[in-house]
Structure 1
């Protein structure tokens, strides 16, 4: 009897324990479900605020084209700088000879040489070297900096192999990629406005950087001519045009972003110089600063902008470039952690650090094809020490990445179509004629171009793009291309987008060739 009672007691105790465990499990599931619901509510609200419907994108297209026109008319009349680059001749494949490039854009700089063989040989051979710049030179004097660059360039020239040779009567000519703000006054002249990227060579500000480098080269007893001063966007356009004469637009989509394109010189109303013989001018848009009320701005963009080094500026870049996409995702995750507790009762300290989530990590999470989304879990753990996330939470993280990526890519696509519209390559034809810049009154105050361009339906236009964001982030690239083709409709058959790598290097050398004093036939 006693044994029977003891067994009953044990059974009751076991049942109670089982019920307690079940209650804990149910409570946890209820909690996880509640967290997931709260997080999904934040996601849906953010998704709706990031709307890039076709209607909205068409308004962005019109706004981009309108701002382009305004920027060509007068200085300061647009969010786009629309800077004449003085580049009026792009390489076409006929260039021959040996040309050099110097690419200064960060803590390292590159020197490059390329042997060109005309239409038959094209790029016969090329070599480059990358040289780190000592910290004391980055903070020293103008003479120290340009003497250092000139010395490394001359050393590189001295190691010219037998595969590289000058044509008769040709001197060595250089394309100089200088990726800092300059006031360009000629194809091979420009005054430095300010330093970025850790440089602080104060006495160089206001100097002509081409003249400074030219002096340093000549002081070493070498005769070389800097024939073109460019940025990487113009180099991308030049590199693309060298292989394909249909290239009209160059775009950088990497850590930063910019665009340039070929414009009719007579359309640049603010241009005070003579119209080039080619009748064309490459325009550097500085499109990162583009802004319109039609852009889908959210609390994420407002907080990011307010905390940035340049609040109120470069709003477009902060929505579409690799520098900022990862941080946009992080800011949404912070809200989910604070309001939905998706990562536990406390917000991980590092999650609160700006730019702690890099866009390459965002890309890896977004493109995780594993059923258990293990890559998402690994990155959350390695970057933020967030462990044991559920599959449901990982799926939400992937969806946040998708919203940010899709918005940025589709807006970049709308920007490209805005350029196509400005130059009459978007297929908006009427009676066989394209009217340039024919916009609604709200966009252009009734402006239209009285010089229509004859339109033929088989005109081909190629957009050359460089940058790691476009090259390596597959979903970004696909979303951007889809947006371009949606917006263009039937006209998309005449527009193609191509990767054009190393504009800052070989593009500069090609522009040195097309603007050389000695042009081999």
Structure 2
């Protein structure tokens, strides 16, 4: 019996070796580039976004915006009330603080505003890493750690920056985790993300927790505004340009906020704000429509993600996912044809090994021999000695994925423009400015240019110069301080 088992095992191993050799021989016959091109053309057709389809997506986005404003749960778009109803005018003066908690680090900022002439007179900040044990520990311990750093930073105020007697320091708190906002300065935590897991904090008012921690430190400071980073981007942009109507984040994640007429918000049951406006945090990453060009690669990535079925739009447009989609396309082609050699490179099978900054480096290589492409393939995926034809193919895959994302982001922005009635020229002098922040937009030049070009394409010849895209840097920091200043009690 033992001999038979050994014989069987040897036979199976031998057959496996023969099969492997036959596969390698088959693959070693050379790359059939005609077949590769056919396969790629089929994928491209599924990613295609002609102008008319983009307009349909924008209209679908607009429809969902209406539904989300009508009632909670009426749309995949949450359309959250920010309670920001006063935007900066440039007249703001004084010293304001900001706390930006968005991940494993947090920043505290001190901003001195000098009105229309002085603008941002002075700015200083401190960045602090959160110890891992505090991310899964007690709620009080986390907020005490943050408040202690804030207290230390506030103690470094210069004499010229000190507030007059009887005036309280005011803080804008950027909290980039899901919260149910109850007012401008309160909101309960819905769930943690980004590695945090403090169960007792869920359902608590994060502003109340921070306030108690500051009191324990003896720090006399009031949280005037609790804001989302997208709202901060809009506000930071509005401070520099009064025509800014929307803020968009295009970085690791993606979201948008815009200025809405308060009278159109059916789910708002309070008194209408005096300004007649309200900033709405769309949470557009969760937008979903049958019109979206979702491929087998997107479906597989979504299925294997931590939140399957959610954040579909974000998974198509944000920096967290673009490199991974490229990897999955290259892996599929490499399994069919030996574009990287007779054996599929093992590293190519590792999820998220190709990050979007590396993809950007590959995509932007303009050298005749695509040297940077070869270097990145070697460094990241362990692929050596690629042909120029193979390197060009990799660039083509990056181009397809990046431009699909950029065109979709442009369609989302066009949907906002349609919703606020800025898609037609009612006033020849009217400008509509979209403030965008995030590393994907700032550093991926081909992406940002395609976004701009696509928006002009959607707007048409008559309107293309009436809508302007601008970069709003550090909205999550300075923007929070500006919201505190706009709603100041001092």
The TM-score range, normalised by the shorter chain, is: over 0.9
Distance (Å, rounded) in 2 between the aligned partners of 1:29 and 1:506: 56
Q: 1:323 is matched with which residue: 301, 309, 320? A: 320
Count of residue pairs brought into register by the alignment: 465
Aligned to 1:510: 482
2:184 match: 187
- CA distance in 1 between counterparts of 2:167 and 2:30 reads 73
Q: CA deviation at 1:32?
A: 3.5
2:429 to 458, 461, 484: 458
1:78 deviates by 1.1
Aligned to 1:485: 456
Q: CA deviation at 1:222?
A: 2.2
Q: Cα–Cα, structure 1 residues 28 and 348, in superposed 2: closer, same or farther, change >3 Å?
A: closer
Q: What's the TM-score, normalizing by structure 2?
A: 0.93
> CA distance change for structure 1 residues 133 and 30 in 2, over 3 Å: closer, same or farther?
closer
Structure 1 position 30, deviation (Å): 9.5
Counterpart of 2:73 in structure 1 is 76
User: Which of the numbers 223, 235, 238 marks the counterpart of 1:241?
Assistant: 238
Secondary structure, aligned partner of 2:161 = coil
- Aligned partners of 1:109 and 1:132 also within 8 Å: yes
1:261 and 2:258 correspond: yes
Query: Is it true that 1:217 corresponds to 2:214 in the alignment?
Result: yes
Contact 2:31 2:339 in 1 (8 A): no
Indicate the residue corresponding to 1:39 in structure 2.
36
Equivalent residue number for residue 447 of structure 2: 476
Q: 5+ unaligned residues in a row in structure 1: which ranges?
A: 1-26, 430-454
- Superposed CA offset, 1:366-420 (max 9, x none): 1101100111111111111111111001100000000001100001001001000
Contact 1:98-1:167 within 8 A present in 2 as well: no
Match in the other structure for 1:205:
202
User: C-alpha separation between the residues in 1 aligned to 2:451 and 2:30?
Assistant: 35
Structure 2: distance between partners of 1:261 and 1:181: 18
Contact preservation (8 Å) 1:49, 1:298: yes
Unpaired runs of 5+ residues, structure 2, are: 1-24
1:494 counterpart residue number: 466
- Preserved contact between residue 97 and residue 167 of structure 1 (Cα < 8 Å): no
Tell whether the 8 Å contact from 2:93 to 2:113 is kept in structure 1 after alignment: yes
The aligned residue for residue 19 of structure 2 is none
Which residue among 149, 156, 176 is the counterpart of 1:159?
A: 156
Determine the structure 2 residue equivalent to 1:367: 364
Partners of 1:214 and 1:226 within 8 A in 2? yes
User: SS where residue 91 of structure 1 aligns?
Assistant: coil
TM-score w.r.t. length of structure 1: 0.87
RMSD: 1.5
Q: For 2:148 and 2:165, locate their aligned partners in 1 and report how far apart those are by CA, in whole Å.
A: 26
1:109-163 deviation line (CA, Å, top 9, x unaligned): 1000000000010000000010111111111111101111111101000011245
SS at match of 2:112: strand
Q: Is the 8 A contact 2:27 2:338 kept in 1?
A: no
Computing the radius of gyration from Cα coordinates, the structure with the larger value is 1
Match of 1:421 in 2: 418
What is the alpha-carbon distance in structure 1 between the residues aligned to residue 217 and residue 378 of structure 2?
A: 54
SS in 2 for 1:493: coil
